Structure formats: structure tokens, C-alpha cells
Structure 1
């Protein structure tokens, strides 16, 4: 076999492989919707579990707050509030700060929003779960939820 014959044979094999891949691609049924359904079910299950955990945390916080308020010592003490913040893709800093205000982690949503904007961190907010409490400063919270 000379070079030309070998090259022609290789080119024919490559061409036939491409034809077979093209035919297979257009004639096989796609299983993408099944994968998407499984992903959707998994996301729904994870969100349900997250909501259940958040409800347990809220109940625990309420119980502990009631126990602390029932103590005979009437001195005024600050109760630390704890919250697991879940940042999902597409959430904005106003949405995040409103959640933190609602859960008594911070008192002023604008303060967090302004801090993130002033520091140029609004585009650096990371998705994930963050364990926050009311004793943390806005700077500490911003450092936790952003990549720097």
C-alpha cells in the first residue's frame, strides 16, 4: 500500500464515521426531557427538605426565645437570632437584605445594599447556604456571601 491509498482509506473511515454519527444523532430519540424531569424532581425535593429544615430552625429559635424570656432574671439582654440564608441563582442584594431584615439578622436593608454597592460587591454574591446571626456586622455578612 502506498501513501495515497492509505490516506484515501483514512479519509473514507473518517467520512463514514461522521455520516454514522449524523444519522444516529437525527434518528435517535432524545432522553433530555427525562434528565430534565429527574433534575426538576431533585430540585423540588431539595427545596422541600430546605423548607422543612428552616421550619425546624424557626421553631427551635421560638422555643429558645420563650425559654430565655421565661427566666427570672429581668435584666435586659440581647437575644442572638440565627438564620440559614440560602442564596439561589439570580437573587439580588435587595432580596437577600429583605430576608435578613425579616429574620432580624440586620435592621436596615438599605445599609447592606449600600455597602455592597459602595464596595463593588453586588456582582460577587455567591449562591449557597450561609449560617448568619444577628451579632454579625454588615461587613462580616458581606464578606461571607461574596467572593472577593
Structure 2
């Protein structure tokens, strides 16, 4: 009895898993033969050509409608790019743009901007918690505790 149940279960499960595999090639064969017979008929060739022409016309209409939008987007991007270049290329002149009492921008806190006062005769010795920095040729005396500008000396 146990062997009979196992055999029937095996047969049933095999039939379930194999039936789609066996049926698929027959469907493909039928569809391919049908498509080949249909494609070789003159009416099918004409309708296919008409469909291709309609598709090409639709694509041309879509591209013509999208062209003004793309042009506007490209123009906007170019304007933004030019604006960024102008702003980035604008030279900061501390003697003109910064005044004593203002806070020093955080990008100038680094060691690369620090300057030794003995290298320039114009600069006085900084007191405790003060440091000279050089930005674009100008010398700025800052308070190292609160990063306030104390003095600006043009080059």
C-alpha cells in the first residue's frame, strides 16, 4: 500500500511539473507557423508597413513637441552653469569685502591660511589668542577663540 501511494504521488507530481514544458513547444510551433504564414501574405506586408509609418509619424510628432521643452531646459542649465562660473570665479578681496568685527567664514579656519607675521614688515606681533591669516593677498588679524576679524591689512 505504501509503495502504491508513493508511486501515484510520484506520477502525479511529475505530470504537474512536466505538462507545461511539454505544452510550450507546441504553442510556439503553432504561433510561429501562424506568424510565418501571415507575414508572407501581401495584406500582412502592407499592414505592417502602414503600422511602421504610423509609428514613425508618432515618434516625429513627439520629438517635435518635446524639442521646445528640451531647448528651454538646456537654456536654463546653461544659464545656471554660467552663473555658477561667475560666482566661483569672482575674486574675494578681504580688504574690500570684510570689515573688523565680522565673523571669519569657516572655510578660512584651516592651517593653510595662517601666516607668520615676521615675513611682512607691515604686520604687528599678534597678542594672545590672535593669529594673522592671508587670503588672496590681504592680511587679516583674527581672534582664534571666536574667529572675529580684528584688523584687515591690504597687500
TM-score, length of structure 2 as denominator length:
0.32
Q: Using CA pairs below 8 Å that are at least 6 residues apart, which structure has the higher relative contact order?
A: 1
